[in-house]
Amino acid sequence: MYEKLFEPVKINGMVVPNRLVFEPMGNYYAELNGDASQRDCDFYAARGAGGCGLVITEVCSVDRIAGRGDARNLVLDNDEAIPSFRKMAEATQATGAKFAVEIYHPGCQGVPPLCVDGVTVSPSGQPSKLTGAPTRALEHDEVLDIIEEFIAAGVRVWKSGADAVELHCAHGYLLCQFLSPYTNHRDDEFGGSLENRAEIVRRIICGIRERTSPEFPIIVRLTADEYMRMVGIEDGITLDMAVEYCKLFEQWGADAIDVSAGNYETMNWAWEPVGFDEGWKSVNGKTIAAAVDIPVIACSVVRHPETAMDLIDGGVAMVGSARQFFADPDWGNKVREGADKLIRPCISCMRCIESLMAAHEDPFSPMVCSVNPEAGRECDLKPLEKDGDGRKVVVVGSGPAGLEAARVLGLRGFEVVVLEKAAEVGGQLVFAAKPPKKWRLDWLIRYYEDVLADLPVELRRGVEATADVIAAEAPVAVIWAAGSVPVKPGSIAGLESELVLTPPEAIMAEPPLTGEKVVVVGSGMTGIEVAEMLSSKQGCHVDLYEMVDEIGPGIFFQNMIDIMSRLGQTDTTLNPGHKLLKVEGNVATFEKADGEQVEASFDHLVLSLGMRPTAAPAWTSELGVPVIIAGDSEKVGRIQEAVTGGYDAARSVK
Ligand SMILES: Cc1cc2nc3c(=O)[nH]c(=O)nc-3n(C[C@H](O)[C@H](O)[C@H](O)COP(=O)(O)O)c2cc1C
């Protein structure tokens, strides 16, 4: 059915064994000096071994002084780095996959403390509205130097034995800034007409070609559309313009085009939060594929093989994803073997990019994946041993921690009994999947159900974990992953009223709350999602209250932009700086920062003030076997903490 995905593709002298591309994904696993690390080697090799025909590295700086995006991204501005890159290339090539390095200069999206005088460089001195980093326009001679740096880095990629080089002309980095009329206002030969704006790319392509071999593949990654109109600016690269650029790149000797979108000011169109559907930007890849004769690689929130096939049927040669292959490096193998229902789905939660950005503060804070606890830890984790020998383990709770623990224990050959007191498995995922755009969490539940069905795991629904129930199983260990319950502070009077609901109660209410006046207290992600669901799907008027001075404290900005763009269309008021004092009847009283008290009436009030752990009861210490606490029961967190906690707990069972 998906055979076409596994046909080879020729890009100049490189024959890629199939059509799947692990797209560049900043991971910042490099050594501090920019050399490739063992973590890089194992990370990329895992994606090759899992079925990606072509694996492309993260951004690799051509200039560590003016062009580093992070203290730990790859750097290839000197020959001494070549051996580490060779090792990285060979690790992936040993899996049968082809390996490419993406070379880049961040321009004004660089990190000022890593730049000379703390100032980034750009074509015309226009700062990024997102970072606001100080920047200055490049002198003409400096542009020539940067061209030379790109060519030298490209030559080093070739010398390292990598199969191809990719020029990063996307996402608002320096080469993209030159291509974009929004950021390039130069009046020398590098600005003005479309051809002039592309002149820097022409010189780099020709320079690399001249100093490598005629067969060495040069791939150009570009932003097919900057989507500036989505943020109210009628400027920037559009698809029509990108088509013209790609025709020029082909003419100048590029061997393939890798189509992406967006820039830092339109980041949600580059790596998309939940609001964007799978396949939404396929038009970009298909349009460019129709305009050029060289192979086109395209990403478009590809999660399922159907979406990949749609791109291929639309003329695209190769299908790329970063996040799906981060979440499940074995995607390709699973699809080839007809086991696509076992794909661990990327849920577009943005935890990868959020954790990556945290590395700007702490270079050793790792990039993590919510659903794949092995992502980025490939070099730390030994393969799972099959040492369970049918011994029994009871897992209490079937939220993400419990399900992941059951999966790992099952793979280890334990016999697993999962006790879930609710009628459905999934824990908080069940109600978290209900608000608009959150259906991907259902994918996660289905994934676990399908994976566990093939393992020695029994899911017992509607069963309360008591000492007797557990003892009857005579387990060798218990994993307590019973989750958490909503916080209801005893200090606030009136919360015991039946008009006061927790988020799960509000979301699952039967009959649903429709057309009501609802007060939601607490604007963390859950509170906002409840507000969105009630207002957009159920016709409620919602007044959202938050104690601190901003709505959505602590929410990653891309997710915030995404959900607020939808919430803004609904009948919802936002009330930051309001502390809930009490509830009486159907009136809530809030105190503002200046001490003023205000009242809000409601049909229902939803209290979304966070969660507290469901601790293991005292009797568990008398079971006589190790009881390992995991997930929210250990410490309330998000899906990533729960899944990783469940995974680590299951590995720790002796
Ligand atoms: C955490 C993260 C890091 C990324 N780093 C890079 C990068 O180094 N270079 C690049 O060209 N694109 C980068 N991207 C963009 C991806 O290659 C890809 O185009 C984007 O994530 C959309 O595809 P996906 O939904 O399949 O992940 C990154 C995306 C994410 C989420």
The answer to whether the CB of 212 is under 6 A from ligand 1 is no
The answer on 449 and 428 residing in a single domain is yes
Query: CA–CA distance from 92 to each of 32, 97, 525, 560 (Å)?
Result: 22, 6, 39, 37
CATH at residue 331: 3.20.20.70
Domain boundary, last residue among 358, 382, 412: 358
Of ligand 1's listed atoms, the one at least distance from the Cα of 353 is: 1
The answer on 206 and 82 residing in a single domain is yes
For 251, the token pair is: 């003419």
| Backbone φ and ψ of 205, nearest 5° | -60, -50
Q: Where are the beta strands (DSSP E) in 187-236?
A: 218-223
In a domain, residue 99? The reply is: yes
In a domain, residue 473? The reply is: yes
Residue at token pair 């396949």: 279
How many Å lie between the centroid of ligand 1 and the Cα of residue 267?
10
The answer on 215 and 70 residing in a single domain is yes
CA proximity to 54, closest of 298, 273, 386, 226: 298
Residue ID of nearest Cα to ligand 1 atom 25: 301
pLDDT (0 to 100) of residue 70: 81
The answer to whether the CB of 352 is under 6 A from ligand 1 is yes
How many Å lie between the centroid of ligand 1 and the Cα of residue 67?
18
Report the alpha-carbon distance of residue 15 to residue 566 in Å, rounded: 44
pLDDT (0 to 100) of residue 220: 98
The answer on 350 and 417 residing in a single domain is no
CA proximity to 526, closest of 499, 501, 549: 501
Taking 50 as the pLDDT cut, the residues of the chain under it are none
- Are 544 and 520 in contact by the 8 Å Cβ rule? The answer is yes
The answer to whether the CB of 73 is under 6 A from ligand 1 is no
CA dihedral 173→176→177→181, nearest 10 degrees, is -160
CA proximity to 51, closest of 25, 20, 91, 24: 20
In a domain, residue 493? The reply is: no
How many Å lie between the centroid of ligand 1 and the Cα of residue 502?
36
- Are 392 and 419 in contact by the 8 Å Cβ rule? The answer is no
How many Å lie between the centroid of ligand 1 and the Cα of residue 20?
15
161: left (phi over 0), alpha (psi -120 to 50) or beta: left
In a domain, residue 269? The reply is: yes
* Largest pairwise CA distance in the chain: 81
Measured on CA atoms in the order 622, 628, 633, 636, is the torsion positive or negative?
Answer: positive
Residue 255: enclosing H or E segment and its boundaries?
Answer: none
The answer on 183 and 84 residing in a single domain is yes
The answer on 476 and 535 residing in a single domain is no
In a domain, residue 379? The reply is: no
The answer to whether the CB of 170 is under 6 A from ligand 1 is yes
Residue 504: enclosing H or E segment and its boundaries?
Answer: helix 503-508
The answer to whether the CB of 23 is under 6 A from ligand 1 is yes
Domain boundary, last residue among 342, 358, 374: 358
The answer on 636 and 574 residing in a single domain is no
pLDDT (0 to 100) of residue 250: 98
The answer to whether the CB of 298 is under 6 A from ligand 1 is no
Query: CA–CA distance from 478 to each of 454, 467, 649 (Å)?
Result: 21, 11, 10
For 331, the token pair is: 């995607």
Collapsed DSSP state (helix, strand, coil) of residue 332: helix
Q: Which residue segment(s) compose the domain that 290 sits in?
A: 3-358
The answer to whether the CB of 59 is under 6 A from ligand 1 is yes
The answer on 309 and 254 residing in a single domain is yes
pTM of the model: 0.97
CA proximity to 544, closest of 564, 565, 515: 564
The answer to whether the CB of 322 is under 6 A from ligand 1 is yes
pLDDT (0 to 100) of residue 612: 96
The answer on 638 and 592 residing in a single domain is no
In a domain, residue 363? The reply is: no
Query: CA–CA distance from 439 to each of 349, 444, 446 (Å)?
Result: 12, 9, 11
For 177, the token pair is: 């800034």
CATH at residue 537: 3.50.50.60
> Please, which residues have CB within 8 angstroms of residue 599's CB and are 6 or more apart in sequence?
587, 588, 589, 590
pLDDT (0 to 100) of residue 360: 80
> Please, which residues have CB within 8 angstroms of residue 466's CB and are 6 or more apart in sequence?
none
Q: Which amino acid is at 648?
A: D
In a domain, residue 381? The reply is: no
- Out of 29, 104, 173, 264, pick the active-site residue: 173
Residue ID of nearest Cα to ligand 1 atom 13: 25
173 catalytically annotated = yes
The answer on 154 and 28 residing in a single domain is yes
In a domain, residue 160? The reply is: yes
CA proximity to 51, closest of 268, 343, 314: 343
Split into its structural domains, the chain has a count of 3
The answer on 421 and 563 residing in a single domain is no
Query: CA–CA distance from 274 to each of 93, 284, 319, 436, 437 (Å)?
Result: 34, 20, 20, 9, 6
Report the alpha-carbon distance of residue 36 to residue 110 in Å, rounded: 20
Which of 266, 271, 351 has most ligand 1 atoms within 8 Å of CB, for mutation? 271
The answer on 621 and 604 residing in a single domain is no
Task: Give the number of other Cβ atoms within 10 Å of residue 563's Cβ.
Answer: 23
Query: CA–CA distance from 183 to each of 73, 247, 263 (Å)?
Result: 24, 22, 11
Residue ID of nearest Cα to ligand 1 atom 10: 24
